[in-house]
């Protein structure tokens, strides 16, 4: 059977895009992978409206990509912060691939964000490996640092 003869009704790319294919959803994931957990911090850093951010967070929690965790600052009400689940952490290579592609084709100069392995300091890149070629790095084994092309917010 040839590709054009196959049904796309069970296409994993399509199913994945149904869950994470919106711009603001991917940007929420970018924030989460960079340690931003609180609604107000995400909203300010991303420049997104409250209703859109609330909607994307709600969808990511419903999809078990993010989970909520209560926190409370002194003198304030209890609020929720958002943390990546195992399912969410498994999207790390997707975000690295998007970052890498954007640095190559969309950046104006140097990269604004660099991702390094925590233990060695080596830069991280997305690659496709044959099965059994060795372990890939997880998000927890890497650290993001501001790159030479970063611009100050505001």
pLDDT at 42: 98
| Pair (42, 109) in one structural domain | no
Cβ partners under 8 Å of residue 63, min gap 6:
19, 87
The reply to whether 65 and 118 lie within a common domain is no
pLDDT confidence of residue 19: 96
In this prediction the pTM is: 0.86
| pLDDT tens for each residue of 82-101 | 999 999 999 999 999 999 99
**Mean pLDDT in residue range 109-136:** 87
Q: What is the pLDDT of residues 20-67, one digit of tens each?
A: 999 999 999 999 999 999 999 999 999 999 999 999 999 999 999 999
Pair 10, 81 in one domain: yes
Domain that includes residue 38, residue range: 1-88
Both 83 and 98 in one domain: the answer is no
Q: Is the dihedral of CA 133, 134, 135, 137 positive or negative?
A: negative
Task: Give yes or no for residue 11 having a pLDDT over 90.
Answer: no
Tell me if 60 sits within 8 A of 66, measured CB to CB: yes
Checking if the pLDDT of 128 tops 80, the result is no
- Does residue 28 contact residue 37 with C-beta atoms inside 8 Å? no
Q: Do residues 66 and 57 touch, judged by C-beta distance below 8 A?
A: yes
Which position has the higher pLDDT, 146 or 84?
Answer: 84
β-bridge partners, 144? 115
What pLDDT was estimated at residue 23?
A: 97
pLDDT at 103: 94
Q: 116-125, pLDDT tens digit by residue?
A: 999 999 999 9
CATH number of domain containing 20: 1.10.10.10
Please count the residues of the chain: 154
**Same domain membership, residue 103 and residue 151:** yes
Whether residue 76 sits in one domain with residue 26 = yes
Average pLDDT (108-120) is 91
Q: Give the C-alpha separation, 69 to 57, whole Å.
A: 13
CB atoms inside a 10 Å sphere around CB 82: 22
Task: Identify whether residues 71 and 96 lie together within a single domain.
Answer: no
Contacts of 31 (CB under 8 A, 6+ apart): 41, 42, 45, 46
Same domain, 150 and 101: yes
The domain boundary, picked from 44, 64, 88, lies at 88
């Amino acid at each position: 059977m040839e590709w054009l003869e196959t049904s796309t009704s069970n296409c994993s790319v399509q199913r994945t895009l149904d869950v994470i294919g919106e711009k603001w959803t991917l940007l929420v994931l970018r924030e989460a992978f960079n340690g931003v957990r609180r609604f107000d911090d995400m909203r300010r850093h991303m420049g997104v409206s409250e209703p859109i951010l609330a909607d994307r967070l709600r969808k990511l929690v419903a999809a078990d990509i993010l989970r909520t965790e209560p926190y409370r600052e002194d003198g304030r009400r209890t609020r929720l912060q958002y943390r990546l689940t195992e399912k969410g952490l498994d999207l790390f290579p997707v975000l690295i691939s998007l970052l890498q592609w954007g640095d190559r084709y969309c950046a104006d100069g140097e990269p604004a964000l660099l991702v390094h392995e925590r233990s060695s300091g080596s830069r991280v890149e997305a690659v496709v490996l044959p099965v059994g070629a060795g372990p890939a790095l997880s998000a927890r084994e890497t650290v993001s640092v501001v790159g030479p092309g970063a611009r100050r917010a505001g």
